[in-house]
Structure 1
Amino acid sequence: MHIMIVDSSRVVLKIITALLEPRGHAVNAFTDSEEALAFLNNTPSVRVLITSLEVRPISGLELCWSARLLAEARRPLYVITMSSARNARNLAEALDSGADDFIEKPPGAEELHARLRAAERLTTMQEELIRLAETDPLTGLLNRRAFFGRARDAADRTGNHGQMTAILADIDHFKRINDEHGHDVGDAAIQAVAKLFGAEGIVGRLGGEEFAIVLPGRSLEEGEAFAGRLRLLVRDLRVRGARGPVRLACSFGVSAWSESETVEGLLKRADIALYEAKTTGRDRVVSAATDLILARTA
Structure 2
Amino acid sequence: MQIVVVDSSRVVLQIIASLIEPRGHAVHAFTDSAQALQYLSATPSVRVLITSVEVRPLCGLELCWSARLLAEERRPLHVITMSSARNVRSLAEALDSGADDFIEKPPSAEELNARLRAAERLITLQEELIRLAETDPLTGSYNRRAFFDRARIAAEQDARPGRISAILADIDHFKRINDEHGHDVGDVAIKAVAELIAGEGIGGRLGGEEFGIVLPGCSLAEATDRAERLRERVQALRIRGSKHAIGLTCSFGVSTWIQGDDVHALIKRADIALYAAKSGGRNRVVPYQGDAGLAVAS
TM over 0.5: same fold? yes
Alpha-carbon RMSD across the aligned residues, in angstroms, is 1.3
Three-state SS of the structure 2 residue aligned to 1:166 is strand
| Counterpart position of 2:113 | 113
Distance in 2 (CA, whole Å) between partners of 1:155 and 1:290 is: 21
Deviations 1:138-165 (Å, cap 9, x if unpaired)? Answer: 0111111111111111111113457101
Distance in 2 (CA, whole Å) between partners of 1:280 and 1:161 is: 28
Distance 1:269 1:161, change over 3 A: closer
Distance in 1 (CA, whole Å) between partners of 2:46 and 2:190 is: 34
Three-state SS of the structure 2 residue aligned to 1:255 is strand
Distance in 1 (CA, whole Å) between partners of 2:168 and 2:257 is: 14
Contact 1:160/1:260, CA 8 A, preserved across alignment = no
Distance in 2 (CA, whole Å) between partners of 1:48 and 1:40 is: 10
TM-score where L is the length of structure 1: 0.97
Distance 1:162 1:27, change over 3 A: farther
Distance in 2 (CA, whole Å) between partners of 1:294 and 1:34 is: 50
Distance 1:262 1:293, change over 3 A: farther
Q: One-letter code of the match for 2:228?
A: G
Three-state SS of the structure 2 residue aligned to 1:218 is coil
CA drift of 1:8 comes to 0.7
| Counterpart position of 1:131 | 131
Three-state SS of the structure 2 residue aligned to 1:229 is helix
| Counterpart position of 1:208 | 208
Q: One-letter code of the match for 2:131?
A: R
Structure 2: which 5+ residue stretches go unaligned?
none
Structure 1: which 5+ residue stretches go unaligned?
none
CA drift of 1:260 comes to 1.1
Q: Which moved more, 1:236-245 or 1:154-163?
A: 154-163
Q: Which moved more, 1:63-72 or 1:74-83?
A: 63-72
| Counterpart position of 1:64 | 64
Following superposition of structure 1 onto structure 2, how do residues 43-192 of structure 1 map, counting pairs within 5 Å? 43-160=43-160, 163-192=163-192
Q: One-letter code of the match for 1:22?
A: P
Distance 1:55 1:161, change over 3 A: farther
Deviations 1:87-120 (Å, cap 9, x if unpaired)? Answer: 1100000001110100011111011000000000
Three-state SS of the structure 1 residue aligned to 2:40 is helix
Distance 1:59 1:161, change over 3 A: farther
Confirm or deny that 1:287 pairs with 2:282: no
Distance 1:246 1:117, change over 3 A: same
- Count, aligned residues: 295
Contact 1:269/1:293, CA 8 A, preserved across alignment = no
Identity %: 72
